[in-house]
A and B are shown apart, each in its own frame.
Chain A
C-alpha cells in the first residue's frame, strides 16, 4: 500500500504554529476530507477541523489544499497530490481558532453589513409576486443564488487580504441577488452599503473568486453588476 505524506497546519493562530507531517494510507477514490478524518481518527485525535455533510452541500469543510482554497469533501486526492504530497492549512484571510478551523464570524458579519437580509414588501395576506422566469432580473438572480457561504472566494480574494474592511465576493454576490429581487424593499440602504471603499468599488477584478468558486458562480460578474447599478442609482438620486 502506498502512503501519502500529509503536512497539516497545527496551531492556535495563522502565525502561531507549524506544519506537522503524517503518513496516511493512499486509498482509491480518497478525498482530502477522508485524509484529514483518517488523521484525526487514527493518528492524532487532538486535530481540530470542521465538516458536516461530506457531499458539497454545507460548505463547512473548506481548507487550503496545496496552496489553494477548496472544499475538501469534493477534492479527490488524485486531483491535487499526484506526487503523493499534500499540504493542508486553514482558509486564508480568516482568523484561525485552532488547527484547520477558522473563525467565520467576520465573513458572515460582512453579509449582514452588505444588507444581505431579505426585506419583504408584502405580507402573507398579499398575492404572490409574479416574477417572469426569463426576465433580466430573475436571470441575474439565478446566476448568483446558489452560493452556500463556504468562504472559498473570501479566502482566495487578494483585496480581502490587504483591505480588511472589504466586504468580499460572497457578501457582494448575495447583495446582488437581492438588488435584483423584485420583492425586496431595502435597495436604497443596500446600494449605499455595497458602494465605496469597502464595497464593490474596491474590487480589482482579479477574478480569483470566480476561478475558485466550487459552485462555478461568478462573484466578479455580480460585483460588476453592483458597480453599474450603484452608478445608475447615484445619477438618479436613489443613492444619496
Chain B
C-alpha cells in the first residue's frame, strides 16, 4: 500500500473514531453526573453494569474507538517531531493500540462481567 493511500485511510479511521468518541464521551459524562447526583454507591453502580449487555457493548465500542483514534494522532505527533514517518513508528503505534485495547477491555470486563 502506498503512503498516500495509508495516510488517507488513517485519516478516515481517525475521523470515524472521533465521531464515535464524541457520542461516547457525552453519554459517559452524562451518566457519571447522573450517577453521582443520584447518590449511587459503587456497589449500586456495579449492580447495574454487571451482566448488562448494553453497558458492555457501549464501553466495548468506546475502548475500541480510543484504540483506533489515539495511536493515529500520536503517530502523527511523533513523525512530526522526528521529521519523517518510518516503519518503527507504525510498529510502535500498533503495539500502543493493542495495549489500549487490552487494558480498556479488561477494565470494561471488570465492571460488566459477573453479577446478575
CA distance A240 to B4 in the complex (A): 8
Which A residue's beta carbon lies closest to that of B84?
A197
- CA A11 to CA B5, docked complex, whole Å: 43
Asked if A239 and B80 sit within 8 Å, CB to CB, the answer is no
Question: Would A231 and B85 count as touching, CB distance under 8 A?
Answer: no
Asked if residues B5 and A195 are in contact (CB atoms below 8 Å), the reply is yes
Q: A206-240, CB under 8 A of B: which get 1 and which 0?
A: 00000000000000000000010011011100011
* Interface residue count on the B side (C-beta < 8 Å): 15
* B41 interfacial by beta-carbon distance below 8 Å: no
> Which of B8, B15, B83, B84 contacts A234, CB < 8 Å?
B8
Question: Scoring B residues 1 to 34 as 1 if CB is less than 8 Å from chain A, else 0, what string do you get?
Answer: 0111101110110010000000000000000000
Interchain CB contact under 8 A, A192 and B7? no
Q: What residues of chain B lie closer than 8 Å to A240, measured between beta carbons?
A: 2, 5
Q: Are B79 and A234 in contact (CB under 8 A)?
A: no
Nearest CB in chain B: distance from A201 CB, A: 5
A191 sits at the interface (CB 8 A): yes
C-alpha spacing A192/B8, complex, angstroms: 10
Q: Give A166 Cβ to nearest chain B Cβ, in Å.
A: 11
Q: Which residues of B contact A (CB under 8 A)?
A: 2-5, 7-9, 11-12, 15, 79-80, 83-85
A-B CB proximity, top 3 nearest: A195-B4, A234-B8, A231-B12
